[in-house]
Structures are given as structure tokens and as C-alpha cells.
Amino acid sequence: MSAPRSDDRGLRNPSAERLPGRRALYRGRRRGVAVAGLAAVAALALVLGFALASAGSHPHHRGPGAPRGAGRTPLARRRPSASRTRAALVAAELATNRRILSYTSYIAQGVPRVRAVALTFDDGPGPYTAPILATLERLHVKATFFEIGREVRTYPALTARLARAGMVIGDHTETHPPMARLSRADQAIELDEAAHAIEAAGAPQPLLFRPPYGSFDSTTLGLTRARAMVMVLWTVDTSDYARPGVGRIVYTAISGARPGAILLFHDGGGDRSQTVAALPRIVARLRQRGYRIVTVPELLREDPPPAGQPPPVSLSGD
């Protein structure tokens, strides 16, 4: 038989009255229980108070009177996803290209409306792409890289790094052939395979094209137009591929610079250590002369090719 239960009014079992010392024993126990209970209540109050204070101070806490979403980062301030950012960049570049393609198929120099020049690099990615990128980032310069598809497949991580750094990547064909010597089908393959490699490496869809050796024909222009690509030639060829010396590369770039100019360098195809060494001097002198350094898409927006410019002429003699 179980012992009778008690409440705060005392014992319900009369037999306890007849047992010597039982009442005194119970009172002692009752005092102990009361003290323990008070201690437990006090401890619980402290815990609850701390929890409520912590919850009220948490940046994501929303009290009963707070509006829905209070304490959370507003959607407008959240960083957009990489895919949304890339889609926005491609859409903006497409809009600019369509405007340019409405009256011409190429750019070799912008209308000199603003004092800006574009630095461009061909034939990469390769072993010298990383030091060139590091130099550009240190100098806070954005540039445009025209990449060969087979090189992208060899160094996909470099293409991804360029894209993450905000550099623009254009199509320089899959295998670097003189395009004017190829059939229409082969030219299309050269364009599309390189574009696929660039996108597979993590860069946006390329919407700029630079012909290897400056070789192209009407077929090339028809293919690029169908792909909403603007062909990008150049104003100044620094001939850095010939390794003429750092001083000569600097002199050629600076002496040929003018508003709207496109300067041609190389980050692939051989030893480009002279190009790496020349870049800081070139950037410093351009800035001293009041030039702003931009990407080709920026040049197309701010300093587009002039209306009425003559049809492009292949630079390779094809």
C-alpha cells in the first residue's frame, strides 16, 4: 500500500499524529522542500530572464509588436546570386551589341567622346595570365581577354578567376586559325567550340570576337552577327608577342594611346614576362595623361564606333 500523499495544508494521515517525533520530522522536511523549491524558482526565473533578454537582443528576433520581417536583412540589400548577376551582365551587353550591330559589325576605336582606353589581351589563358591578373587587380584595372578554346580547356580555373575578378572574356576561336581560309562550317565550329569552353569554365557567354591574325571575311561577319557578337579589332598593336623589350612595349602603348583607343597585348602564346613588367608603367602613364581604363563593353557603351565607318578590312592580307 502506497504512502498517503500530502499537500500544502499538512498531513492527511491521522496515524502520523500518534507517532513520536513524526510531526517534527515532517516539519523539518517541509522546510527543506520549501527552501529547495524557492531556490529552484529563483534559478528558473534567472534562466528565463536571460533567455528573453538574449532573444530580444538577437538581430533576427521579431517581438510580438514588431512587423513581419523585422531584424532580417532586407531583400534589396541581399547579395544577388552569381547566376542572376551573370544574366544581368549578358543582357546589358546584348542590348549594347544590338545597338552597335544596327549600323556596323566591328569596333577598332571608339568615337573620342571621353578620355578612355581599353586594354585587351589575346591567346590565353596560360602561365602568364595569373601574374597579369594579379597586376591588374593590384592596380584596380579591368581589362578584356580574348581566349582560345583549347587553352581554356587546359586552364579552366584561370578563366573562372578572370570572370570572378570582373574581367571581360571574349571569343578568340577554338584553335587560333586564320578564319578567312576556312569554310563557313569550320568557322562556325571555331566560334562555337570556344564559346562552349568559356561558358563551361564558368564565364558568361562571350559576346565579343577577335579574329586571330586579324583574318576574317564576309562569312565571319555573318556568323558573328547571327550570334549578336561584335568583332573587336585594335587601335594599337604593342607587338609584345615579339618580346621587343619592356621599354619598347611601354613606348608603343603610350605613344599610340588616344581617346577611344583599343590596345592589344598578349597573355598567352609564349613568354609574356615583358608584358607583365610593362603593365604597371603603362597604367601609371595612362593615368598621368588623364585616361580612364575601361573594358571593351564599357567602351562600346560610352565611346561606340563612329557611324558611317568603312567596312572592316582583313588585317592578315587574306
Evaluated on CA atoms 298, 299, 303, 309, the torsion sign reads negative
Instruction: Judge whether 240 counts as a catalytic residue.
Output: no
CB burial of 226-238 (b: ≥16 within 10 Å; e: otherwise) equals ebbbbbbbbbbbb
Q: What pLDDT band is residue 78 in, cutting at 50, 70 and 90?
A: low
Tell me: pLDDT of 147 over 70. yes
Contacts of 165 (CB under 8 A, 6+ apart): 133, 136, 137
| Helix/strand/coil for 136 | helix
Tell me: pLDDT of 79 over 50. yes
Q: pLDDT for 167-219, tens place per residue?
A: 999 999 999 999 999 999 999 999 999 999 999 999 999 999 999 999 999 99
Catalytic hit among 171, 172, 266, 267: 266
Contact, 123 vs 176, CB < 8 A?
yes
Regarding pTM above 0.85, the answer is no
Q: What pLDDT band is residue 11 in, cutting at 50, 70 and 90?
A: very low
Tell me: pLDDT of 289 over 50. yes
Picking from 217, 220, 133, 203, the residue whose alpha carbon sits closest to that of residue 169 is 203
Catalytic hit among 122, 123, 171, 240: 122
Instruction: Judge whether 196 counts as a catalytic residue.
Output: no
In CATH, which of 3.40.630.30, 3.30.210.10, 3.10.50.40, 3.20.20.370 is domain 106-302? 3.20.20.370
Contact, 159 vs 198, CB < 8 A?
yes
